[in-house]
Structure 1
Amino acid sequence: MLQPRSSDASLIAHAGRSYFPIAFIARLPFAMMVVGVLTLVVASRDSVALGGINSAFVGIGSAVFGPMVGAAADRLGQRKVLVPVGLANGGLLGVLPFVVQSAAPDLAVLAMSFLIGATAPQVAPMSRTRLVAIIRQRMSGDRRERVLSGTMAYESAADETVFIIGPFLVGLLASAIAPWVAVAGASVLTFVFVTAFALHPTGKLSAGQHAVVAQAPARELLRPRLVVVVAGILGIGFFFGSTLTSLTAFMEIHGESSQAGLLYGLMGIGSAGLALGSAAFPKTFGIGWRWLVFGLVLLGGAVAFASADSVLAVGIVLAIMGVGIGPTLVAQYSLGSDRSPVGRSATTMTILGSAVIVGQSLTSAVVGEVAERSGTEAAMLFPALSAALVVLAAVVNLVLSRRDQRG
């Protein structure tokens, strides 16, 4: 169990040294699912469009059931929810390669993809919920704001890093061994690390928190200031999906489609570093303005991506785009945490996490179809459209914030 500690102790001391590595690795299967399914289906059934549709079904399953998983965790506690969900998800991932490589109809593969999304363990939002609970309950008031800011920066950097590492691992395993190995690896990671995360002592802390705090009405989740954050992070999901799928189509032209995940990993170079560095930004550089400024960096890189015509040029542009992603995610998750209705933090964070994978999945399907019907050049326009949504949501967020300040 968690040991009582002084309010001056560090967050690592409060959570335990094993917590952060377990929570980080437990996120990887979630980040590998969409790309793993896409790569496996494309390789086994020779159709980018079918692979994209299956990726979309993963996202649809997560969109439908992800918030329910978060709501159940708010009410019942994380352990009671994560253990059975994680075991079910690990089993489904383990079975998927056999179904895809068999003579089973495409509809059976789609059903499996949907179930994988529906049982996706929501580790990242639940980790945020646990750490916020520790900060608010066990740290002195003069430290909370600074530690919370640093924690949101770390959590966003961890999310961004796994969403880069995940596809990178899929590409590495697919090109070095076989596409099914990546999905099988995600299954093993789910069984081991999601279970370890679920059983970690911090899982009891968040449950105890919600047991003594009355929940705000569910309609509070529909407040415009929270909805605009969901829209913005959905745009990041759109960006991830459209970039990876169009990149896969681009690399397929160059005869190396399985290596798209390796090239995609270049975005993580600047992204993770700047996400971690977000805690050092001055207070005068407000969270809303950070979202807008780095969203514009993302948009500029996406426009350049659309016109890139060589593997080298694409690699350079991907590294530039990474600079915009990390701080943008930090800003969005920080705002989501601040605006979460009372007693519904796991639900809110799960909605935000689901928005990323939903956006990634839907654009994987759409851009995969566009790539087959209209060509790679048309597909490579979609990251810019996605980044434009991120910027638009940032502008709306600033308008709503200013209106609330005047009110």
Structure 2
Amino acid sequence: MSTTQTLTATTQVTGPESTPDTNHRTTVLQAVGRTYFPLAFVARLPFAMMVVGVLTLVVAGRDSLTLGGATSGMVGLGGAAIGPLVGAWADRAGQRRVLLATAVVHSLLLLGLTAAVYSTASDAAVLAIAFAIGASAPQVPPMSRSRLVAIIRTRLPVARQQRTLSRTMSYESAADEIVFVVGPFVVGVLAAAFGPTAPMIAAAGLTAVAVGAFALHATSRTTAAPATGATAPAAHSTGSQAPVQELWHRRVLVLVAGFVGIGLFFGATLTAMSAVTGDAGHSERAGLLYGFMGIGSVVSALAVSAFPARFSLRARWLTAAVLQLAGAVVVATSDSTGVLIVGLLVAGLGIGPSLVTIYSLGSERSPRGRGTTLMTMLGSSVILGQSAASAATGALADTVGTGAALATPAVAGGVVLVAAVANWRLADR
């Protein structure tokens, strides 16, 4: 199914602040406006450029792979530690105010790190700025999902919500996959053409313009309501929020664990591909190999909406996790570029459905009034895993060799599979 078909799937929805629409021909695309999806796509690109851009900048500016890995890791740590708090703030104060504030601060910090790396600033200062960059990252992907879930759940009849939600989450996951593939590629192109500072400057400008526009879009006022057709409560209404402790329920934490595993897989795979291409004397081709995994993931993510309803969410995740691990094992044991590419494609076919399914489970299990917080927790988990695996796999490749680095995606795939099994058992109970 094409992206256009995904976006225009017939659904009974209305605009963010209108009353329920009984016109069955109304589509999600009509409800949010034609500019929404392109804008939300571009606005999430700086988020995908962040970790790789920081790594590229620090390695080039300080000539230290160890410091570069530690700095990118601090970005992930900042996002994982503070990102959910940013989501909670948005649940209380509304997305518009939070996005505008974080976009300004984040843009300035990106420029500040660029200056600090090429100055006499200490390594500790560089690490501190990197943490702040991760902490202030505008949470566009989870906030986009939160807006769309709110529209679907407050405007659709219950009988049609699940299918529309699956289609919408398929697109959102595919968009994430595309930017996580395109982001490192854009960083590489800009760095090669204009120098290692160019990606950071571009990310700062893109954050200010695209995230600012996303913040001001009319859908930023959309909030979830507990009943179909009911008027949505104000985003800042604390009286409608569930206790924060509900975010630490094991049915939620198992989703976070799954996303940490997927982030580990992204970081381990990208760094391992850098080691492979570096050994061949063509390190700039790492993004091309990594792209094969993205191709499989995007295709399978878009195909999820065609799965039959009897193929339950927990079964989808478990099946996808097995497929992802199988592809990772092929990568680890590959003896040629052709076999390596096959393994990446197979792994990608498992990643796409896992992303869609975990987000769908997250929308089901989101505590009342905590939707943005939960989506932000999931998005931050990916960045944390990616940063940690990038640093660890890089160190492993330097000290042990490329063969050891190629085994790390299989370890990450094992984490995802364990989380899927745990989710199966929790759903059984």
TM class by smaller structure: over 0.9
Counterparts in 2 of 1:43 and 1:312: CA distance versus 1, 3 Å:
farther
Quote the Cα distance in structure 2 between the aligned partners of 1:312 and 1:98.
42
Match of 2:76 in 1: 59
Q: Does 1:361 align with 2:381?
A: no
Determine the structure 1 residue equivalent to 2:126: 109
Equivalent residues in 2 for 1:45-194 (5 A)? 45-194=62-211
Can you list the C-alpha shifts for 1:15-59, whole angstroms capped at 9, x where unaligned? 111111111111111111011112222233333322211111001
Show the counterpart of 1:4.
18
Q: What is the rounded CA distance, in whole Å, between the counterparts of 2:113 and 2:274 in structure 1?
A: 21
**Counterpart for residue 345 of structure 1:** 371
**Relative contact order, higher structure (CA 8 A, sep 6+):** 1
Q: CA deviation at 1:75?
A: 0.4
Counterpart position of 1:320: 346
Change (3 A) 1:188 1:392: same
Give 1:195's aligned residue: 212
What amino acid sits opposite 2:29 in the alignment? I
Q: Does 1:287 align with 2:301?
A: no
Deviation at 1:259, TM superposition (A): 3.4
C-alpha deviation, 1:2, in angstroms: 5.1
Say if 1:172 and 1:261, in contact at 8 Å, map to a contact too: no
Q: 1:313 to 1:105 in 2, by over 3 A?
A: farther
CA deviations on 1:291-338 (whole Å, 9 max, x unpaired) are: 111111111111121233454543343223211111111111111111
2:58 aligns with 41
Higher helix share: 1
Aligned to 2:242: 216
Which amino acid is 1:25 matched to?
V
Q: What corresponds to 2:426 in structure 1?
A: 400
Q: Tell me the SS of whatever aligns to 1:347.
A: helix
Q: TM-score, normalised by structure 2?
A: 0.89
Q: Which residue of 1 is the match for residue 3 of structure 2? A: none
Is the counterpart of residue 263 in structure 1 residue 289 in structure 2? yes
The 2-side partners of 1:365 and 1:41 are apart by 13
Q: Report the AA paired with residue 192 of structure 2.
A: S
Report 1:364-383 matches (<5 A): 364-383=390-409
What's the offset of the Cα at 1:232?
Answer: 0.8
2-side partners of 1:321 and 1:2: how far apart?
A: 37
Equivalent of 1:299 in 317, 325, 330 = 325
User: How many residues were matched structurally?
Assistant: 403
CA displacement 1:116-172 (0-9 Å, x = unmatched): 101111001111111111112223333222211211111111112211111122223
Query: What's the offset of the Cα at 1:289?
Result: 1.1
Q: Are the structure 2 counterparts of residues 178 and 259 from structure 1 closer, same or farther at C-alpha, using a change threshold of 3 Å?
A: farther
Q: Is the 8 A contact 1:251 1:259 kept in 2?
A: yes
- C-alpha contact (below 8 Å) 2:329/2:343 kept by paired residues: no
Could you list the per-position Cα deviations for residues 371-396 of structure 1 after superposition, in whole angstroms to 9, with x for gaps in the alignment? 22222221221110000010111111
Gaps of 5+ in 1: none
Could you tell me how far apart the structure 2 residues matched to 1:168 and 1:315 are?
A: 17
* Distance change in 2, residues 1:264/1:101 (3 Å): farther
Q: Distance in 1 between matches of 2:195 and 2:180?
A: 21
- The 3 A distance-change label for structure 1 pair 188 and 316 is farther
Distance (Å, rounded) in 1 between the aligned partners of 2:366 and 2:17: 28
Q: Which moved more, 1:183-192 or 1:193-202?
A: 183-192
Once residues 108 and 266 of structure 1 are traced to their aligned partners in structure 2, the CA distance between those partners, rounded to angstroms, is 37
RMSD: 1.9
Shifted more, 11-20 versus 363-372: the winner is 363-372
The answer to whether 1:20 aligns with 2:37 is yes
Cα offsets for 1:245-297 (capped at 9, x unmatched): 22222222222334322331222212111101101101121111111111111
| 3-state SS of 1:400 partner | helix
Alpha-carbon deviations, 1:52-74, whole Å to 9, x = none? Answer: 11111001110111011000000
* TM-score, length basis structure 1: 0.94
Matched residue type, 2:175:
A
